[in-house]
Structures are given as structure tokens and as C-alpha cells.
Structure 1
Amino acid sequence: MPLLITAILLGIVEGLTEFLPVSSTGHLILASELLGYKAETWATFNVIIQLGAILAVIVLYWRTFWAVAVGLLKREPASWRFLRNLLLAFLPAAVIGFALHKQIEALLGNAIVVAVALIVGGIAILVIEALVKRASIEPGVAAMPTSRALGIGFIQCLAMIPGVSRSGATIMGALALGVERRTAAEFSFFLAVPTMLGATVLEMVKNRHELTSGAVEWNLVAVGFVVSFIVAVVVIRWFVGIISKRGFAPFAWYRIVAGSLALVWLLAR
């Protein structure tokens, strides 16, 4: 397959799945198996194009980020609570992710782990959807108690297992802790910015020689970045609307079906 087509496809997969509770990393790993390319060759590419998805959040929610920044300068309590909750939720992933970086990398090459995690995660979403009926916390990131923000941060660490889904873990974890649906989704989007930025910087530092030696084809990275940004913008707008009407069950059933098909295919080949 031509490299340009591969870059476009990976950009689409990243943009489609990064903010949905279906696991972008898991889909990229399965895509490498399905398309037959070497996953390790595209590992750095896959991490860098996440910046396109991060940019989508910043562009769509620029008013929120701007209001928080201005509020911090004015020492407004709500803005400081927003920043506090974001940093608290980011902290566990930063510490645990750095400490277990090598173990996490070892899992990234295991497509069977991804398939099983998709199935288990789908079942978990259905269970949480059935048990959680009402939010106990007022809407808004700033209204979230510190204990809930930190709890969501620890739950996010489950996404270090490929196939679990960072957005899925944070959103469903927030719902289980009493956070309202829209706030849970938007907090997951906001939390993606420091989390994904940190993962990208760590990967770039680790592969700095590859990045500066000319081994990385930056024209392909640029294509993947732009594609992931455009697709992520569309997905985020659509996602917030659909969860308000239909909840998360459609994504749970998708995970179960996709994971089951992938597992059968991987074991049978």
C-alpha cells in the first residue's frame, strides 16, 4: 500500500477514535495487523499525529480555555478550581506512565490484548450505563470535588492497557463517580490535552535520534496530523450530541462486536 494512503488511513483512525470510548491505540494496533504494515515503523508517527487531535479540542473549546486563562489572571476561584481538577486528574497518568513506560510499550504489540480489552470494556460500559442513573455532582468541571478529579485520574491509568480507551475510562469513571454526562465527556476532552501532550513529548524525547536523523518522513506526519485534526473536529461535535440522546450503549456494542471479530480473526489466522 502506498505510504501516503497509509498515512491518510491512520490519520482517519486516530481522529475517529481518539475521543470516542473505543480506544484509538487499540484501533491503530489492529489496523497494523489488518493492513499488514510494520507497527513499529509507524509507532512514532502514530504518537505525533495525536497532536492533531489535541489541536481539535483546543480549537473547539478555545472560549473555555481563554475564559479560564483570563480567570486565572483575575484570580477567579472557578478558574483555579478548573485548573486544579485538570492537574489532579493528569497527575496519576504522568507518574505511573513514566514509571511503567517499558511495560506499557511491551503491551502495544499484542493485538490479542486489544481485542480482549475491547470486549471487556464494552461490557463494563453497559454495566455502568445500567447502574448509573443520576448525577450527584453539579454540571461543570470547576464544580467537581478534588477527590472525584483525582479518582478519574487513577481510572484513566487503566487506558495504559491497549484497547481499554483513555476517553472511555475517564468518561465512564466520571459517570460512576457521579459526574453528569456532558461534563464527563468534556472533562475527558480537556484532560486529553495534557495527557496526550505528555505522551507525545515522552515519545519524541525517546526517539529523538530517529527524529533528527531523517528517518521520519515529515511530509507523511503532516498529512496524518491534518487528517486527524479535521476528523477529530467532526467527531467531537457529533459525540457530545449523540451521548445526550442515546448514551454510551452504541459504543459498548460496537466494542463488543469489533473485539469479538478481531479476536476470532487473530486466533484463526
Structure 2
Amino acid sequence: MNTIEAIILAIIEGLTEFLPVSSTGHMIIASSLMGIQSDNFVKLFTVAIQLGTILSVVALYFKRFFQSFDFYFKLFVAFLPAVIFGLLFSDKIDELLESPLAVAISLLIGGVILLYADKWFNKGTVNDTNEISYPTAFKIGLYQCIAMIPGVSRSGASIIGGMAQKLTRKAAAEFSFFLAVPTMFGATAKKLYDFFKHGNTLSGQEINLLVIGNIVGFIVAIIAIKSFIGFVSKYGFKAFGIYRIIVGGIILALLLSGSNLQVM
């Protein structure tokens, strides 16, 4: 992986991580088009650059993160299912990560759901994340676990979960952003631990790529989050549903044409 490729992947990560479109699906297409070979560092890179996107949430919602301890407790309750399911099914999750077909199918199914999400969940009454109860936070966390299936989209699953619990589109999206912080931090920490545990090391060039990737991801994610909140509050999720179906179709077409897609 060279610097240009790292910047492109970081832009994709920043744009797609908080949108209900699956960053994994986009990474597959981008890496395939650029001919990036999947190795231990590439796999680490695609997870570790999430640190930059995490910081974008903290920067945008700085006051919210230092408002009350109750806020952290709710995030912990929502994060807990991901910890449990992640530990129990880590081997199965890794197995699914090797299946581009699973990603394509998840994108298509998720796209259909988003086409009708505004119609199915149009009775949101909770417009402030501070009003979310602990049981509601836990249920949203359960929905987030569905995103352990590659292509589902962590943000998409948690947003739909929030709307199913009577949150408005804006409140569901914001809580999804907040929940991303412990979830993505945990995933990054585990990936780093596994990387070094198996005797891997980072060269100076690889460290530079990680720094560049996180900086680019941070900047792009801030723009994406601001744009997404305004767009989804006004127009809903139908456009994202259509987009997911198109991306899923592209991946299927690549698979049928014999392309050797690598999930990173």
C-alpha cells in the first residue's frame, strides 16, 4: 500500500463509516480496483484508521461527552451486547469477513430495508438522546450486533434499532454516532493487540500511513457527519437504500465476472 492508496481508503472510511451504506462494501470495491493485496498491515490499517473517525464524533459533540456520567452508563449498556457477541462469535465473524458474497447479500438486503425504513418507523417521539432509557439503549446495542455480519453497516443497524425504539431520525443517528466511539475503539484496540501478539511490527513507512490515514479520516468524517444529519432529517433513508442496492449489485457483478475480491 502506498500513500495515495492509504489516503483514498481513509477518505472512503471517513465518508462511509457513519452512513448506513457499509464501509466494508466500499473497501472491497476500492481495494479491488486499486489492486491492493490483503496482508496483516492492510487489515490493521482499515481498522486502525477508525481512531480518526472516532475523534471526529468527540470533536463535533464535545459538550455532550462531558455532560453527565449517565451518558457514559447508557453508552456502556448499549455497547455491552457487542462485547458479548464479539467474544462468543469472533471465529464466525472472521470467517464471514472472508466472504465477499456475504457482503453483497447484506448490502442488498439492507438496501431494501432502508427503502421502507421511513414508512415502517415514522412514529418517532424521542428527539433528544438524553431521553433514551437504559432498556432502550440495550436494545439499540442488540441491533448493532447485527452489523457483525459484513456489509450490514454498524450505523445502519443501530439507527434502525433506534427508530424501532421510537427515536426520531436525528436522535437515532446521533446516538449511533455516540455508540460508535466505544465500539470502534474496542475493535481497534483488539486489532492492534492481535497484530502485535502474533509478532508483527510496524515499519516507519507503515506508521506514517497510519498517521496520514487517521488525519484524513478525521477531517472527512466531520464533513460526512454534518452533511448526513441535515440530509437524513430532511429526506430520510430512501436514497441510501438505493445506493446500497447499487453497490451490492456491483460487488455481485464483479464476483460473477470472476474478479478476485479481497475483504479487508
The verdict on a shared fold, with TM-score over 0.5 as the criterion, is: yes
Aligned AA for 1:58?
V
CA contact 2:114–2:241 (8 Å) conserved in 1 = yes
1:178 to partner: Cα distance: 1.0
CA contact 1:118–1:164 (8 Å) conserved in 2 = yes
Tell whether 2:191 aligns with 1:191: no
> Where does residue 77 of structure 2 map in the other structure?
88
Taking the aligned partners of 1:218 and 1:102, their CA distance within structure 2 comes to 28
> Where does residue 207 of structure 2 map in the other structure?
218
> Where does residue 202 of structure 1 map in the other structure?
190
Taking the aligned partners of 2:230 and 2:128, their CA distance within structure 1 comes to 17
CA contact 2:58–2:65 (8 Å) conserved in 1 = yes
| Matched pairs, number | 256
> Where does residue 167 of structure 1 map in the other structure?
155
CA contact 1:90–1:191 (8 Å) conserved in 2 = yes
Superposition pairs of residues 44-83 of structure 1, within 5 angstroms: 44-68=44-68, 72=69, 80=70, 82-83=71-72
Taking the aligned partners of 1:39 and 1:27, their CA distance within structure 2 comes to 15
1:13 to partner: Cα distance: 0.8
Tell whether 2:259 aligns with 1:266: no
Please give the TM-score of this superposition, normalised by the length of structure 1.
Answer: 0.90
1:264 to partner: Cα distance: 1.4
In structure 2, the CA distance between the partners of 1:36 and 1:149, relative to structure 1 (3 Å rule), is same
Superposition pairs of residues 140-179 of structure 1, within 5 angstroms: 140-179=128-167
> Where does residue 257 of structure 1 map in the other structure?
246
Aligned AA for 1:164?
V
Identify the match of residue 132 of structure 1 among 111, 115, 121: 121
Taking the aligned partners of 1:222 and 1:211, their CA distance within structure 2 comes to 21
CA contact 1:49–1:221 (8 Å) conserved in 2 = yes
Aligned AA for 1:152?
I
Taking the aligned partners of 2:87 and 2:37, their CA distance within structure 1 comes to 25
1:197 to partner: Cα distance: 0.3
Taking the aligned partners of 1:64 and 1:186, their CA distance within structure 2 comes to 11
Unaligned runs of 5+ in 2: 259-264
CA contact 1:15–1:228 (8 Å) conserved in 2 = yes
Aligned AA for 1:51?
L
Taking the aligned partners of 1:26 and 1:207, their CA distance within structure 2 comes to 23
Aligned AA for 2:50?
Q
SS in 2 for 1:217: helix
1:31 to partner: Cα distance: 2.3
Taking the aligned partners of 1:214 and 1:134, their CA distance within structure 2 comes to 50
1:198 to partner: Cα distance: 0.4
1:32 to partner: Cα distance: 2.3
Unaligned runs of 5+ in 1: 73-79
Tell whether 2:245 aligns with 1:246: no
CA contact 2:23–2:153 (8 Å) conserved in 1 = yes
> Where does residue 216 of structure 2 map in the other structure?
227
Taking the aligned partners of 2:170 and 2:248, their CA distance within structure 1 comes to 27
Superposition pairs of residues 116-127 of structure 1, within 5 angstroms: 116-127=105-116
1:209 to partner: Cα distance: 4.5
Taking the aligned partners of 2:13 and 2:251, their CA distance within structure 1 comes to 18
> Where does residue 10 of structure 1 map in the other structure?
9
1:128 to partner: Cα distance: 2.2
Deviation track 1:169-215 (CA, whole Å, cap 9, x = no partner) reads 00011112211111100000000000000001111111114686335
Deviation track 1:74-113 (CA, whole Å, cap 9, x = no partner) reads xxxxxx2x22321111000011112211221121122121
1:142 to partner: Cα distance: 2.3
Taking the aligned partners of 1:213 and 1:39, their CA distance within structure 2 comes to 16
Taking the aligned partners of 1:187 and 1:211, their CA distance within structure 2 comes to 37
SS in 2 for 1:214: coil
